[in-house]
Amino acid sequence: MPSIKQFNGLTMSVFTAFGWAGEETAIKYALEQMELFINALHARLPRAVQNKLGHVGFNPATQTVYLAASPEVESDVHIAFYARPMSLELQLAITDEKVLAKGFKEAQKQPALAHRLITELGSDWSLRVQQMQIDEETGEASHYQDLYKDSVVNLDEETAAGVFDKAAYLNGEGKWLTPVYLSRRFPSEQASNMGPAIIDVMSEHVASLMPILSFLTGRKTSKESAAKTKANARQKAKAAVPEPVIQETQIDPEEGFTYVSVLKPLHLRRGFVNLTSKHWPFFALNSRTETRPVTVYYEGIYDKDSAVWRLLPNDQARLVLSPTVHQWLEDHFEANDRVQVTAKKLNGQEIQLSLKAVG
C-alpha cells in the first residue's frame, strides 16, 4: 500500500466503468485508492475532530471507508464515504439504539437548535430518518418506511419537531429502530478534478458536521461545557424573577416567547419589527445592555446580521433587520399585516428569532 503522502486524488477510474482493466481488478484498485484517501483525510482533520472520530478503516462488506467514534463502527456515530459510479457520497450515520435515544432526547429538549444545526448545512445536504422493523426471532432489521427523506432546506421547524418526537417514541419500542443519516453527494467528475485538494475540501465538510455530532451525542468540548455552565447559571438567576405575560404567552427565560406584531408603513420602510418593553429583559445581558445581536430565521434562511435594540425611555425592544431581511419584509408584507416573532435561546447564548406571516 502506498504512503498517504503519495495520495494524488481520486481519479475518474475510481468512479466510472472499469472495462479497461476488468471489473475485479478495477474495483480492487478503486478501493485501494479510497483507503489511501480516508487515511490521508484523517491525518488532515483538526485534532479535536480526530479525537471524536479516532477510528479509520475500510469495510470490505459494504465497500466503504469510514471515520468512526468506536472500533465497532455501527455501535456509535460514524462518517462513511461511498464511491458510487457517478458520485462520491459523504454520509453521517447514527444507527445504534442507545446513541439514537440520547440524540432524540436532546432534539426533543431543544427542537429549535436541532432544526438549526441540520438546516444550516444548506441545500446540498439531505436528511433521512428511517423506520426499521426488528424481527423478534432473528433480531434483523428491515426497512419499513421513511419518517423523513428530503433536502434539509425543505424541513421546517414544525415538521422537524414532529419527526424527532415520532422517531424517539418508535426507537423506545422493542420492535423498531429509527436510524438517522445526513448525506451529501459530489459528482464524480468534480471529485476527480479536485486532485489532492479533495482532502482539504472533505476535511471542511467533516468539520461542518461536528456541531450536529456534539449535539446528538452530548460530547461537548471543554470550552462548550464551560459556556453552557455559565449560561445555565444566568438562566437560573433569571428564573427566580416572576416573568410577565404577553398576549397570553409567557416569556420563559430559557424557552423564549411568541409574539405577534402589527407592521406599520414606517416599519416596512425602515426595516424593523416592534416588540414591547416586557420583552427586553429576555435579550438584556445586564442593566447596561443596549443592543443584542440575534439570528433571524425566515423561509429556510438564517441571517446573523440583525439585532434587537433597547429604546429609551421605556426600554421597548425593537428588532432591527439586516438589509437582506429588510428586503424580504418589504417584498412579502404590507402595512397592517401581522408578523409572528418566535424567540428562542440556543445553547444559552445565541438568540434566534423566527419570522413568519400570520393569516
Alpha-carbon span 234 to 236, nearest angstrom:
5
* Mean pLDDT value of segment 106-124: 92
Give the model confidence (pLDDT) of 323-339 as tens digits.
Answer: 999 999 999 999 999 99
Mean pLDDT of 14-28: 62
Q: How confident is the model at residue 225 (pLDDT cuts 50, 70, 90)?
A: very low
pLDDT number for residue 250:
63
Question: What would the 3-class secondary structure string for the chain be?
Answer: CCCHHHCCCCCHHHCCCCCCCCHHHHHHHHHHHHHHHHHHHHHHCCHHHHHHCCEEEEECCCCEEEEECCCCHHHCCEEEEEECCCEEEEEEEECCHHHHHHHHHHHHHCHHHHHHHHHCCCCCEEEEEEEEEECCCCCCEEEEEEEEEEEHHHCCHHHHHHHHHHHHHHHCCCCEECCEEEEEEEEHHHHHHHHHHHHHHHHHHHHHCHHHHHHHHCCCCHHHHHHHHHHHHHHHHHHCCCCCEECCEECECCCEEEEEEECCHHHHHHCEEECCCCCHHHHCCCCCCCEEEEEEEECCEEEEEEEEEEECCCCEEEEECCHHHHHHHHHHCCCCCEEEEEEEEECCCEEEEEEEECC
Q: What is the pLDDT of residue 170?
A: 95
13 pLDDT band (50/70/90 cuts)? Answer: low
- Domain 241-357 maps to which CATH number in 1.10.3720.10, 3.40.50.40, 3.20.20.70, 2.40.330.10? 2.40.330.10
Torsion angle, alpha carbons of 89, 60, 44, 193, to 10: -50
Closest CA to 293 of 285, 81, 185: 285
Residue 183 has pLDDT above 80, yes or no: yes
Whether the per-residue pLDDT at 29 is higher than 90: the answer is no
Domain 4-222, CATH: 3.30.930.20
Check for a shared fold between 4-222 and 241-357.
Answer: no
pTM for this model (two decimals): 0.75
222-249: average pLDDT = 42
Q: Where are the domains of the chain?
A: 4-222, 241-357
> Residue 219's pLDDT is what?
62
Section 131-154 average pLDDT: 92
Within 13 A of 130's CA, how many CA atoms are on the CB side?
Answer: 19
C-alpha span between 29 and 26 (Å, rounded): 5
Instruction: State residue 188 phi and psi, 5-degree precision.
Output: -60, -40
Q: Does position 11 have pLDDT exceeding 80, yes or no?
A: no
Which residue do the cell numbers 485508492 mark? 33
Q: What is the mean pLDDT of residues 162-177?
A: 94
Task: Give the three cell numbers for residue 278.
Answer: 416586557
Closest CA to 178 of 141, 123, 210: 141
